[in-house]
Amino acid sequence: MELTAISAVGLAAMIARREVSCAEVMAAYLARIEVVNPAVNAIVSLRDSDALMDEARAADAAGARGPLHGLPIAVKNLVATKGLRTTYGSPVYADYVPVKDDLLAERMRAAGAIFIGKTNTPEWGHGSHSFNPVHGVTRNPYDLARTAGGSSGGAAAGLAARMLPVADGSDMMGSLRNPAAFCNVYGFRPTWGLVPSDAVGDTFMATLATEGPMARDIADLALLLDVQAGENPAVPFGRTGRFAVPEPADMRGKKIAWLGDWGGAYTMEPGILGQSEVALRVFEDLGAEIVPLAPPFPAEKLWQAWVTLRAMLNAGAKRGLYEHAAHRALTKPETIWEIEQGLNLTAAAVYEASVIRSRWYARAAGLFDQFDALVLPAAQVWPFPAEWRWPQDINGVAMDTYHRWMEVVVPASLIGLPALALPAGFGANGLPMGVQLMGRSGTDAEVIAMGQAYHAATDWPNKRPPAL
């Protein structure tokens, strides 16, 4: 088996046993990237190959540093990396080289990862299609004419194309889950607070986005999550947790609620609900009871709260771009729209949104007294043409914002639930799709164990890798 097809857990074990060297692993990945990346464009700001080989040989000489020792990692281009160009997909930062790592990068580097470059994202992570004027568009390894999703699109495509053994991502509005579904890999949005942010800007109100792991199997997902997780004492609301290679959950007797299209509120392209039900039948075959569930909360209220709180946070964090005329002219219209929405908000509107959020959290807690997990599709559309900015309509229903077509991810995002994107196989169009497996807040290990049971029964990423 080629080294690039071996799991991260497997490679780490082989390096530890000295069955393979860090230099051999690096050489294999660099060769794969050279062949595949020009077409996919998942990895950007790729470092010099000679420098990377020197670093890999130094890792061999130094001995194990941590669980990611010697593994080539490309960090999402929204995470600052010391000495490695970090652009956020923005022309304003086209030549920016940070002088220090963000916390997530610092943890992965301390665990022994060798940073080879960055993974592509949309500008500022806005939108679930990874294109920007600095690095171009990332394409789907399963169909190069299609999007890989976003904002962790480069991470998902890099994994699927065997250019990375494991990858970090982040998720505010489905940015780990949507690209995982589009690229036939796993993406895990952890309970909010498990993977902490850096102590910059607001850390009390900014509780919608989180970083997390992506992988081609659940053991690798747990490996990276264990590196990422753990409190940052400088930010509030932190959680702790350790994640070993999980045993598959015994699904017998478990109850899973199927929310479908939320009673028609979430318009879906043809075939997505049926493909999602393929994944549900896997859980049913494993012994779980699948229970169709009527919408437990008004979708329009969830959307109202979501766009209000998201706009408030974007306006606060990105206001400097807006007020600097030259930078504003270089900023994508979707980001400008977010900022302008936020600048026009009243305190009363923000409070009302927070009340809606609070009521949904309480309602969801009641659901988890009845069910072990909730399931929704991970996307409302199949991977769409790469030249689009975003889908303008679904089945003739016009999308009134640049992100309305991603609304199905909001129920988990709004209240910080752990949500695991599981590959659900391929539609009649040959394109991948996935579902979201959501658990009670704090039950990350249990959700991952259910994912392990599902992976053992399906193994979609390795059963049907892309034919590049």
pLDDT in tens, 32-86: 999 999 999 999 999 999 999 999 999 999 988 899 999 999 999 999 999 999 9
Which residue type occupies 142? Y
Burial of 308 (0-12, 13-18, 19+ CB in 10 A): buried
- Confirm if 360 and 297 have CB atoms less than 8 A apart: yes
Specify whether the backbone of 253 is left (phi greater than 0), alpha (psi in -120 to 50) or beta.
Answer: left
List, for residues 416-452, the tens digit of each pLDDT value: 999 999 999 999 999 999 999 999 999 999 999 999 9
According to DSSP, the residues that pair with 170 across neighbouring strands are 211
Q: What is the dihedral of CA 119, 120, 126, 128, to 10 degrees?
A: -90
- The tokens 């599981």 sit on which residue? 422
**Percentage of the chain modeled with pLDDT above 90:** 99
Beta bridge partners of 73: 115
Q: Is residue 129 scored above 90 in pLDDT?
A: yes
pLDDT digits (tens, 9 = 90+) for 75-117: 999 999 999 999 999 999 999 999 999 999 999 999 999 999 9
| Residue 338 confidence class, pLDDT cut points 50, 70, 90 | very high
The ranges assigned to domains in the chain are: 3-300+349-463
Inter-residue contact 112 to 68 (CB < 8 Å)? yes
pTM: 0.98
What is the C-alpha to C-alpha distance for residues 163 and 151, in angstroms, rounded to an integer?
18
| pLDDT range class, residue 455, cuts 50, 70, 90 | very high
Contact 177, 153 (CB under 8 A): no
| pLDDT digits 0-9 by tens, 179-237 | 999 999 999 999 999 999 999 999 999 999 999 999 999 999 999 999 999 999 999 99
Residue 265 has pLDDT above 90, yes or no: yes
End-to-end CA distance of the chain: 17
Strand (E) or helix (H) holding 212: strand 210-215
Residue 127 has pLDDT above 90, yes or no: yes
| % pLDDT > 70, the chain | 100
The pLDDT of residue 258: 98
Q: How confident is the model at residue 128, as a pLDDT? A: 97
Domain 3-300+349-463 has CATH 3.90.1300.10: yes
Please give the pLDDT value at position 397: 98
pLDDT reading at 245 higher than 90? no
Q: 347-404 pLDDT, tens per residue?
A: 999 999 999 999 999 999 999 999 999 999 999 999 999 999 999 999 999 999 999 9
Q: Are 88 and 98 in contact (CB under 8 A)?
A: no
Q: Which of 437, 403, 468 is nearest to 218 (CA)?
A: 437
Q: Which residues are catalytically annotated? A: 76, 151, 175
Average pLDDT over residues 3-18: 98
- Average pLDDT score, the chain: 98
Which string of b and e fits 337-355 if b means at least 16 CB within 10 Å?
bbbebbeeeeeebbeebee
* pLDDT band (50, 70, 90) for residue 461: very high
Which pLDDT value is given to residue 35?
Answer: 98
DSSP string over 131-184:
EETTTEE-EETTEEEEE--SSSHHHHHHHHTTS-SSEEEEESSSTTHHHHHHHT
Rounded distance, CA 236 to CA 225, Å? 20
Type of residue at 396: G
Task: Please list, in sequence order, all residues whose beta carbon lies within 8 angstroms of the beta carbon of residue 300, skipping any fewer than 6 positions away.
Answer: 265
Please tell me the predicted confidence (pLDDT) of residue 63: 85
